[in-house]
Structure 1
Amino acid sequence: MTLNLKHHGAITGVTGSCHELTIGNQGILVDCGLFQGSDSQGRASASELAIEFPIDHIQALVVTHVHIDHVGRIPYLLAAGFEGPILCSEPSARLLPAMLEDALKIGFTRDHELIERVLGLISERTRAIPYNQWQPVFEDGDTALSIRLQRAGHILGSAYVECDARSGNARERIVFSGDLGAPGTPLIPSPEPPQACDRLILESTYGDRDHEHRDDRRHQLRTVIEQALDDGGTVLIPAFSLGRTQELLYELETLFHDNHGEPWRDLEIVVDSPLAANFTDLYRQLKPFWDEEALERVHAGRHPLSFEQLTVIDTHEDHVRAVDYLNDTGRPCVVLAGSGMCDGGRIVNYLKAMLGQPRNDVVFVGYQAEGTPGRDILRYGPRGGWVELDDERYTINAGIHQLSGFSAHAGRSDLLRFVNGIHPAPKEIRLVHGDPPAKEALASQLRDQTSARVTIPSR
């Protein structure tokens, strides 16, 4: 079989996911994501973000989930002349327009009419397909490709992609993991490994470590919040608008439900992100895709993503007032704001105002890519260092915490369980979407535990 795999992103780091599978003369792309952090160096302008590889033979784009590092270059793909369908799960089809509208406003254009045209084109091309159903993509003589989406447990709508490739009498099953989630993630059913796989393209974000147990992370979050209540400080949580924010709201509702008295009764939770508020509303609309635990809470009369202590800030004016109010009054509060790596968005204004005060705390609940302010705060904050925000230095006196148990990514043991659940083992495993130490550590474990040929592609 003439089968080629190429990687157009997520090979030197954890962003810019874009992978190509070609059988014969036709192929597909799996994801087309934006580069972030140090991965984005040299890619600041539209011309540098342009699609630099041939796409005439690409018949479809398959989207694993709608995080920006997996979908952010879709407008550039369309501009390059891509005319095929965009295939994704049903929840992703609902979430994709909101994510790309925000991305277009920030990094593409401020022209409202142009944004509407691009979003209209994306909506026309998007085709939602159910989980666990084979879908033909192309057939050319004796060459054909079908795909099937399976739940990946990362965010709502996330999927890994099974590809059934046929050429003559030869057949091969290729699986793209996308981003896999950790078992037990709130709201999201856990991923199950595929029944068959010849080649596996596997993410390795946390290939070198595991996360805390869910009970431990909730205890740690409670401890940080109660410390803030004692100190009269603000807890800042840089959170990705999609996935992490909703998961945090779910856990915070749990804490409020379990702690009825003072001082929890007067604690306010602020979501300062119109995009996160929009996604949270979409999550509520997509209840049929929630897991059993979340649905049981709904049936019991609880509201995991909407509770009395929750305030949503929409306008920029209200955002500025909130920063000033919390900075001046010292009222205990938990603020969830984007962006998750502190490289833009409203969290930056909170950090500028509050990093210098010991009574405040910053809690990181997601991966911080190399070259982002979030990574620098984690690295230098515990030593009383500084971080550069908008070309100015800010001293870090606030408490700095990292709760890895809130990561939306599978940990090392979760990745190994996923692979070891495939029988027989894949012939080849390619590790992508990870920093070099994480990929090397996971590769070593996989070589010890499986018979697969484990590779780390450079292109």
Structure 2
Amino acid sequence: MVRSRPGAAGLPDDPDELVRTRAPFLVQALLRSPGLRARAAEVLERGRPAGRVRDLGALMLHPDDAVARAALETLAPALDPPRDRAAERAARDIAGLKVRLERERARLGYAKRDVEEANRLLAEVTAARDDLAERAESLAAQLAIAQRRLQEPRPLAAALLRTLEQPPAPSALDAAARDPHNRPEPGPEHNEPLLAAAGAAGLPPAELLRILRAVVDPPAPRVRVGAELGLRVVPLGGATEIGGSCLLVEAGGTRLLIDAGLRPGAEPAPPREIKRALDGPLDGLVVTHAHNDHCGYVPALVALRPDLRILATRETVRLMPAMWADSAKLMRMRDRRAAQWGVEAGALYGSLEVETAARRCEEVPFGTPRRLGALTVELFPAGHILGAAGVVVHAGDRRAVVTGDISGFRQETVDGYALPDAAKAADLLVMESTCCAEDHPGREGRVRDLVRAVEEVCQDGGRVLVPAFALGRAQEIALLMRRHLPEVPVRVDGMAADLSQAFEAVTEAGPRPLDVLGGAVAVAERPADLDAFRTGVVISTSGMLNGGPAVQWARRILPEPGSALFISGYQDEESPGAALLDVRTGGRLTLMDRDREVTVPVRARVDTMRLSAHADRRGLFDIADEAGAREVMLVHGVPRKQRMFRESLRMRGHTTTDTGPWRPPHGA
């Protein structure tokens, strides 16, 4: 009867087993079903039980629900199986412990996350503290360098002579007005600094200038018997590659280097053929500008040639020590990592060599000749970055012109090049060819594209990271933001901030002072700004995302769908910046953040905003045409592109020479 009812599936088949194990179930079934009780009463009557069993059964199976319920409810507790109260308590305790365990596991998870966040913040605070300490150390070192330079007679005399001979600033922006040869020479009666210095020295102005010039330009030595009198130019680095620029110029027994840069890579290296320069004496080094691929090897060179004279513009002299100090720091960090694996130190120089090199630097104004042995050098504005210069080398009646990195357009920080007469119709023009295969869009259009892109992101509440080269590009972008988007907050971080302050200091007393920081542009405050600075522009080093605070910013900004990262310059093929351009939005990028690999999702907008500071193909044509040299040699470029551009120059009527050792053609 019971097994035929709904819900009886799974009951034992044996009636005795059913009664023994499921008595409570049977009682509840009888309570709920009068029909079941009636049928059970019939069975009981047929069995004719005796005595109390019959009486109890009659009550349990009574047709009156109230009677049956009372009897069955009285009997139900007795039918329950014996209860193991200790087991029940244990079960309850276990259940409670499980709840507590889950609760404690949740708390442990929260605690772990809190510890991880605290460790992250501690690491960032420690990194910020270390950065501040390094910046303070760097500033102290630069102050010490400046003080010690005052003890060096020739650099001090050169700086004083530069100040006293400084021509008035041009009143126009055209090339003719910027050419030092076209500016009128002020007479002593109109030169207040000269009059004041002469009065303090108790000398006539002309005599003071003569003494200073004698210190800066000692009499030319007699040419050694048998020495070569002809001009010879030999590329030692950066010839058919970008980086490690170095050029050897020889004449009359004098040997002069123009630039001594580092080759970029995991381990910065000297110019490829620098040993050829060290095979003999060196009379001087002219540095065209303060980028490391042109000046980064100088401290190592000075360590090998302690008496080496270093000539450069005032701006380059002021900026180079900061670049050298940063390179020394990075090399020191690499050596520490290498030491953990038992690898010997490989740093090219340290802080002592940086200080020594800085003390050897002499400031040279544009258009003012300086003699180095049998050679005379003259600098002219090359555009590119603040302080960049081209070089005219005079060897008797022979001349070679070296452009260095050059550009003809006006930027926020510097005007374009200005070729003086001395740079025209020379025997040889050594011209950079970085962008010789490119025709850049108009600069104004590129600036508009950058401004529009930044504005779109910031208006929607996002933030923009621009990894930028610390010297030149970072200041250019900061000034563009100040001029075109003055209401957008901008943060400048890393070495870019230090050099921005250096830009302001070195131009403060000049005709074109630069205010990079100010208004909405400020130095970033790490680590607080990493998360608190939610809308605006961040300009930070390194420009290729292979280190520095730009990596800390990228870790946060790349995963943000409403933000953006704009690549602003050249990216080495193996750099994270180049990898990011391949990944674009939707992928993942691996970065190296202080010796630790970190992989982040890329949800932010990724784009390229090129603001090259190099002359493009058309600009290089203009330079070659204006210079009108007898022969043109291309350096600082890629061989395949150089070959194509060399052919284009020939089609325009220029005579070119292969990149390599050069002498004037016989009879020329």
Query: Which TM-score applies when normalising by structure 1?
Result: 0.82
Q: State which of 629, 632, 637 in structure 2 corresponds to 1:426.
A: 629
- Please name the residue that 2:276 is paired with: 53
- Please name the residue that 2:5 is paired with: none
- In 2, distance between residues paired with 1:359 and 1:435? 38
Q: State which of 408, 417, 433 in structure 2 corresponds to 1:191.
A: 417
The amino acid that maps onto 1:157 is: G
Name the CA shift for 1:79/1:280 in 2 (closer, same or farther; >3 Å).
same
Q: Secondary structure at the match of 1:417?
A: helix
User: How many Å apart are 1:323 and its aligned residue?
Assistant: 2.5
The amino acid that maps onto 1:155 is: I
Is 2:617 the counterpart of 1:412?
Answer: yes
User: How many Å apart are 1:5 and its aligned residue?
Assistant: 2.5
Number of residue pairs matched by the alignment: 413
- In 2, distance between residues paired with 1:398 and 1:100? 34
User: How many Å apart are 1:288 and its aligned residue?
Assistant: 6.5
User: How many Å apart are 1:4 and its aligned residue?
Assistant: 3.0
- Please name the residue that 1:403 is paired with: 609
- In 1, distance between residues paired with 2:561 and 2:661? 44
Is 2:362 the counterpart of 1:160?
Answer: no
User: How many Å apart are 1:50 and its aligned residue?
Assistant: 11
User: How many Å apart are 1:19 and its aligned residue?
Assistant: 1.4
Name the CA shift for 1:360/1:147 in 2 (closer, same or farther; >3 Å).
same
- Please name the residue that 1:201 is paired with: 430
User: How many Å apart are 1:44 and its aligned residue?
Assistant: 5.3
User: How many Å apart are 1:80 and its aligned residue?
Assistant: 2.6
Structure 2: segments with no counterpart, 5+ residues: 1-228, 337-348, 663-668
- Please name the residue that 1:286 is paired with: 506
The amino acid that maps onto 1:137 is: L
- 2:470–2:496 CA contact under 8 A, matched in 1: yes
User: How many Å apart are 1:307 and its aligned residue?
Assistant: 2.8
The amino acid that maps onto 1:26 is: T
- In 2, distance between residues paired with 1:289 and 1:13? 37
- In 2, distance between residues paired with 1:349 and 1:117? 30
Name the CA shift for 1:386/1:457 in 2 (closer, same or farther; >3 Å).
farther
- 2:517–2:523 CA contact under 8 A, matched in 1: no
- In 2, distance between residues paired with 1:157 and 1:438? 28
- 1:416–1:446 CA contact under 8 A, matched in 2: yes
Name the CA shift for 1:428/1:222 in 2 (closer, same or farther; >3 Å).
same
Name the CA shift for 1:14/1:45 in 2 (closer, same or farther; >3 Å).
closer
Q: Secondary structure at the match of 1:200?
A: strand
RMSD: 2.8
Is 2:403 the counterpart of 1:177?
Answer: yes
User: How many Å apart are 1:107 and its aligned residue?
Assistant: 1.6
Q: State which of 248, 254, 271 in structure 2 corresponds to 1:26.
A: 254
User: How many Å apart are 1:387 and its aligned residue?
Assistant: 4.2
- Please name the residue that 1:346 is paired with: 549
Relative contact order higher in (CA < 8 Å, ≥ 6 apart): 1
The amino acid that maps onto 1:53 is: R
Name the CA shift for 1:426/1:256 in 2 (closer, same or farther; >3 Å).
same
Is 2:485 the counterpart of 1:271?
Answer: no
Name the CA shift for 1:458/1:279 in 2 (closer, same or farther; >3 Å).
same
Query: Which TM-score applies when normalising by structure 2?
Result: 0.57
Name the CA shift for 1:230/1:120 in 2 (closer, same or farther; >3 Å).
closer
Which shifted more, 102-111 or 275-284?
102-111
- In 2, distance between residues paired with 1:355 and 1:458? 48
Deviation by residue 1:256-288 (Cα, 9 ceiling, x = unmatched): 35xxxxxxx4x3201012x22222222222337
Name the CA shift for 1:5/1:376 in 2 (closer, same or farther; >3 Å).
farther
User: How many Å apart are 1:393 and its aligned residue?
Assistant: 4.8
The amino acid that maps onto 1:374 is: G
- 2:232–2:661 CA contact under 8 A, matched in 1: no
The amino acid that maps onto 1:279 is: L
Deviation by residue 1:337-388 (Cα, 9 ceiling, x = unmatched): 011222222112222333233322121222223332223323x044755544
Deviation by residue 1:233-267 (Cα, 9 ceiling, x = unmatched): 2211111111112211221111135xxxxxxx4x3
- Please name the residue that 2:169 is paired with: none
- In 2, distance between residues paired with 1:233 and 1:104? 36
Which shifted more, 344-353 or 14-23?
344-353
- 2:585–2:604 CA contact under 8 A, matched in 1: no
What is the 5 A alignment of 1:290-309? 295=512, 304-309=515-520
Deviation by residue 1:123-155 (Cα, 9 ceiling, x = unmatched): 3211111111111111xxxxx211000000011
User: How many Å apart are 1:217 and its aligned residue?
Assistant: 2.0
User: How many Å apart are 1:22 and its aligned residue?
Assistant: 1.8
Is 2:237 the counterpart of 1:9?
Answer: yes
- In 2, distance between residues paired with 1:457 and 1:388? 40
Q: Which has the larger radius of gyration?
A: 2
- In 1, distance between residues paired with 2:481 and 2:376? 41
Is 2:227 the counterpart of 1:227?
Answer: no
Q: State which of 523, 544, 549 in structure 2 corresponds to 1:312.
A: 523
User: How many Å apart are 1:332 and its aligned residue?
Assistant: 1.8
- In 2, distance between residues paired with 1:52 and 1:98? 26
- 1:9–1:17 CA contact under 8 A, matched in 2: yes
User: How many Å apart are 1:45 and its aligned residue?
Assistant: 7.8
User: When you count helix as a share of all residues, which structure comes out higher?
Assistant: 2
Which shifted more, 364-373 or 242-251?
364-373
Q: State which of 311, 318, 322 in structure 2 corresponds to 1:87.
A: 311
- In 2, distance between residues paired with 1:44 and 1:184? 32
User: How many Å apart are 1:402 and its aligned residue?
Assistant: 1.9
User: How many Å apart are 1:116 and its aligned residue?
Assistant: 4.8
The amino acid that maps onto 2:499 is: F
- In 1, distance between residues paired with 2:661 and 2:560? 44
The amino acid that maps onto 1:240 is: F
- Please name the residue that 2:470 is paired with: 241
User: How many Å apart are 1:198 and its aligned residue?
Assistant: 1.3
Structure 1: segments with no counterpart, 5+ residues: 139-143, 258-264
User: When you count strand as a share of all residues, which structure comes out higher?
Assistant: 1
- Please name the residue that 1:261 is paired with: none
The amino acid that maps onto 2:378 is: R
Name the CA shift for 1:217/1:147 in 2 (closer, same or farther; >3 Å).
same
- 1:90–1:157 CA contact under 8 A, matched in 2: yes
Deviation by residue 1:181-214 (Cα, 9 ceiling, x = unmatched): 2412223122023323211111111111132323
* Percentage of identical aligned residues: 29
- In 1, distance between residues paired with 2:642 and 2:600? 33
- 1:51–1:77 CA contact under 8 A, matched in 2: no
The amino acid that maps onto 2:469 is: F
